[in-house]
Chain A
Amino acid sequence: DAGVIQSPRHEVTEMGQEVTLRCKPISGHNSLFWYRQTMMRGLELLIYFNNNVPIDDSGMPEDRFSAKMPNASFSTLKIQPSEPRDSAVYFCASGQGPPRSDEQYFGPGTRLTVT
């Protein structure tokens, strides 16, 4: 199994630009999570999908962030417009839950730098 696939691995963009991060979960997993990791705040859950439906988006910081899961094998996290404070590593994880606390398999992450 290829594991969770994320692209791009690194993204550098200017403030105000739109950024789209992509994730392909492990086949057969029906839960998908987007996390953000920073030194200051650690690993934070942004949004949780189950069977392609957003269940909990309470961690999405503001309206500039949006996430979609059009099918079981693909999800996107979009930031528009991006700001320097969005710089972080963004992880996608998938699992076989619910419960959402079941083992989660993380992708390698996308390191986003907004200048």
Chain B
Amino acid sequence: TQLLEQSPQFLSIQEGENLTVYCNSSSVFSSLQWYRQEPGEGPVLLVTVVTGGEVKKLKRLTFQFGDARKDSSLHITAAQPGDTGLYLCAGIGGSQGNLIFGKGTKLSVKP
């Protein structure tokens, strides 16, 4: 069974700080996706990384896919309260090619 472990589970920081959250697996994934979920809403796709070693930037968010395609990280520079939410990583896995989600990192950015 392919699993995605996300760390930390919870993160509370002050506005303006930098942070990194991680998504790790013992399995290789053909691609990984990152979603953000706000309270009372469904997840929204932020980015898909496909190539090992790939780095993608989305404003203050930087996503990296590990060289071996087993892990990924999300770095946020100068966090803002609007970044608050649950960050989920998801990889394509299993015999059916379904999206397998990690349990997420719950980020709280205090003003």
Contact = CB atoms under 8 A, between A and B. Distances in A.
Interface string A94-105: 000001110110
Given A100-B97, A108-B41, A43 B88 contact: yes
Contacts of A106: 41-44
B42 A103 contact: no
A109 B45 CA distance: 16
Interface string A30-59: 000000000001111100100000001010
B1 interface: no
Contact of A101 (B43, B44, B99): B99
Nearest to B4: A42
Interface residues of A, number: 20
A58 B96 CA distance: 10
Given A101-B31, A106-B43, A109-B41, A42 B102 contact: yes
Residue from B31, B44, B88, B101 whose CB has the most chain A CB atoms within 10 Å: B101
Interface in B65-84: none
A48 B103 contact: no
Contact of A43 (B43, B92, B96): B43
A99 B44 contact: no
Interface string B31-65: 10000000011111100100000000000000000
Q: 7 closest Cβ contacts across the A-B interface?
A: A106-B42, A42-B103, A43-B101, A101-B92, A56-B96, A106-B43, A103-B45
